[in-house]
Structure 1
Amino acid sequence: MQITNMHCSGQTVSLAAGDYHATIVTVGAGLAELTFQGCHLVIPHKPEEMPLAHLGKVLIPWPNRIANGCYRYQGQEYQLPINEHSSKAAIHGLLAWRDWQISELTATSVTLTAFLPPSYGYPFMLASQVVYSLNAHTGLSVEIASQNIGTVAAPYGVGIHPYLTCNLTSVDEYLFQLPANQVYAVDEHANPTTLHHVDELDLNFTQAKKIAATKIDHTFKTANDLWEMTITHPQQALSVSLCSDQLWVQVYSGEKLQRQGLAVEPMSCPPNAFNSGIADIDMFRGNFSIKDKLQEKIALTDAIVSQSPDGWLIHFSRGSDISATLNISADDQGRLLLELQNDNLNHNRIWLRLAAQPEDHIYGCGEQFSYFDLRGKPFPLWTSEQGVGRNKQTYVTWQADCKENAGGDY
């Protein structure tokens, strides 16, 4: 782990794990270099230079192009600055040339954060985070997350722009494999038009195939939720793979960089998505809290056990004023049922402690998302989970999910 001073690319962070070494720059939260045993796995750039072709940059709040820099959202039209005049488009978002902040740093990982303030073309507020982690066995992993911290819903997309390379050799020699059955045709400004089967555009790389002189600057729709692509240089016996869980991926054969690498850009949406509406997602989050004040806790010191038709009754008391009844029985499958009743509703809490053997464990109670084993945890049997209406079996839950931005499907 090492941090160097400011250059054109901001601060520079060096990470190492086993035979892997990575260089991260704070401008654009960019991947400036990644090597394995000294071989380049991405096209590198020097921290003191402004890299061409968005080398390694994180693309927020949209990847790729927005045609004419113009889009309409919730009835309002917005105009973004045109920063690629050849295509007359606003390209690759608003954070690729912003200086991100280092919030956490170890020898093998770095966390970068950025605040995106409102602007005329994008009057929304985002807080974004990128985590680069290096592993001696699995290589580099990248996690990107953004949160809408404004008061209104915001259009959003994300991508990342590495150029994969087999040690800076020509892509003409690479065998390329990508599990994608569909690809967009593009117009004269490189904007997507219609979705085709890859065979129709002669861009079928579902089986490893030599790139040769093929020029690629297209958006592919992948076949699976989790996919892996690979480039291989047969003569050098070197392969580079990238895995992603994003549905879309832009592939560019790197003409601006002498075809020394293949841009493989996982994206959450296709180009011009702010206008097409494809992969459009509204995210709503809500929070609530319940505060409780414990005024008095009274132990029930006396217990009377009696048999009932389906099990046992235990009557707890302390004197004549405070009491509670526990009904112990079993269901049809032999599972233990405990039904506890507070005999005086003015006392609104009952604490019950159960003796347990060392090998006993407690699971469930709605807390599978916080703890799997509740053994030894004073957990109240009132809880919350992620949303209401986890299916569409009733009209009410369907309306809550689809119309009121409530609930969810997990």
Structure 2
Amino acid sequence: MTVNGEQFEITDGPVRAVINEVGAAPRILEIGGLPYLETYPDEHTPPMGCGAVLVPWPNRVGGGRWTYAGETQQLALTEPARGNASHGLVRYTSWQPESRSAAEITLGADVNVQPGWPVRLRTTVTYRVHAEGLTVTHTVANRGHREIPFGVGAHPYPRAGAAATDDCTLELAATTAVELDPERKIPTSAPAPIAGTDLDFRTARPLRGVELDTAFGGCLPAEDGLVHHLLRGQDGGVELWADPVFSWVQVYTPDGFPGRGRAVAIEPMTCPPDALNNGLDLITLEPGQTWSASWGIRAVG
């Protein structure tokens, strides 16, 4: 019996995913019995944001304050220790199924008008399993009467099968990064090139001894038109691919992921931290307009 939300299983042959109703968060992705996402017991709310959908902004809003149409908006401080509004407004929402088949499920949630958020949105996320892995498609619809800026992100913790995180290498499509205040995790500078710095992961580098809680930008698509990030162990790897609109990626390497210890989050984002204030790569939706984009996880040899 689940305590914190229904669990939705989808399968396609040897590929299996389980999606948590809370946060619309993928809790399991297995291919041929091997895990390609970090997991946790089904009685728990997703720990450390694991898998959660981040709408209508990813990452943080400094002080929870931003300006809309000349008026100061004050969001609830959901990261009180740092004084920030963190990870959007649907992380702890129970998302409702809109459609379902054996291999696919669509979950939906409303972002209602509330302190700090002035325009109603409807958002959905579709999870589809297939031979290569998992495809995730987000939509956001403006149900209000005014245009609104927003961003989208997700918080998966990919894993390369049975490999320990410290035995893996990481390769990112990113070309820039922003410096963050070490206490508040809010940008203190404009995006800067990472070529030749300790943050340059354009060529695969070992994760052992590397500590990251970093917002990378300038993610460049490959010849197939998609952005690619790769976590690889000795016996294979896992790739997080994304549409080019996900031109940002937050990489986080906590030591205390439940039941796993050292883990790595590779979080596709359409905009950087504090985008509601710095304005970088925000998307603007007109009344009645709908936006959509996709990312996914697949096993690689």
TM-score range, shorter chain: 0.7 to 0.9
In the alignment, is residue 80 of structure 1 matched against residue 75 of structure 2? yes
Q: How much has 1:233 moved relative to structure 2?
A: 1.0
In 2, Cα distance between equivalents of 1:63 and 1:145: 15
SS at match of 1:282: strand
State the shift of 1:87 in Å: 2.2
Q: CA deviation at 1:165?
A: 1.1
Contact 2:143–2:287 (CA<8 Å) still a contact in 1?
A: no
After TM superposition, the structure 1 = structure 2 runs for residues 334-345 of structure 1, keeping only pairs within 5 Å, are none
> Secondary structure of the equivalent of 1:47?
coil
Q: Which runs of 4+ in 1 moved over 4 A?
A: none
Closer/same/farther in 2, CA of residues 256 and 63 from structure 1, 3 Å limit = farther
Give the Cα–Cα distance (whole angstroms) in 2 for the partners of residues 281 and 44 of structure 1: 31
Name the amino acid aligned to 2:135. S
Q: Separation in 1 of the partners of 2:269 and 2:23? A: 16
Give per-residue Cα distances to partners, 1:112-168, cap 9 Å, x unaligned. 0111211011121011110000002x2100000010100112221110110011236
CA RMSD, aligned part only? 1.8
Percent identical residues = 31
Among 43, 52, 56, the alignment partner of 2:47 is: 52
Q: Which has the larger radius of gyration?
A: 1
Residue number in structure 2 paired with 1:118: 113
| Partner in structure 2 of residue 63 of structure 1 | 58
Look up the SS of the partner of 2:89 in the other structure: coil
5 Å-filtered alignment, 1:4-403, equals 7-8=3-4, 10-136=5-131, 138-167=132-161, 169-188=163-182, 189-194=184-189, 195-199=191-195, 201-221=197-217, 222-224=219-221, 226-234=226-234, 237-245=235-243, 246-257=246-257, 259-284=261-286
Contact 2:22-2:46 at 8 Å conserved across structures: no
How many angstroms apart in 1 are the aligned matches of 2:36 and 2:74? 37
Distance in structure 2 (CA, Å) of the matches to 1:264 and 1:135: 21
Give 1:238 deviation, angstroms: 2.5
Deviations 1:184-218 (A, max 9, x none): 11112111222222246401111111111110111
> What is the CA distance between 1:259 and its match in structure 2?
4.9
Q: Deviations over 1:264-288 (max 9, x none)?
A: 111111110000011133233679x
- Aligned-partner residue type, residue 104 of structure 1: S
Q: TM-score normalised to the size of structure 1?
A: 0.65
Structure 2, gaps ≥5 residues long = 290-301
Q: What amino acid is the match of 2:215?
A: T
SS for the counterpart of 1:130 is strand
Q: For residues 124 and 283 of structure 1, do their structure 2 counterparts lie closer, same or farther at Cα, with a shift above 3 Å needed?
A: closer
* TM-score (ref. length: structure 2): 0.88
7 and 28 in structure 1: CA distance in 2 versus 1, 3 angstrom threshold? same
Bigger RCO of structures 1 and 2 (CA < 8 A, at least 6 apart): 2
3-state DSSP of counterpart to 2:6: strand
Counterpart Cα distance in 1 of 2:282 and 2:227: 21
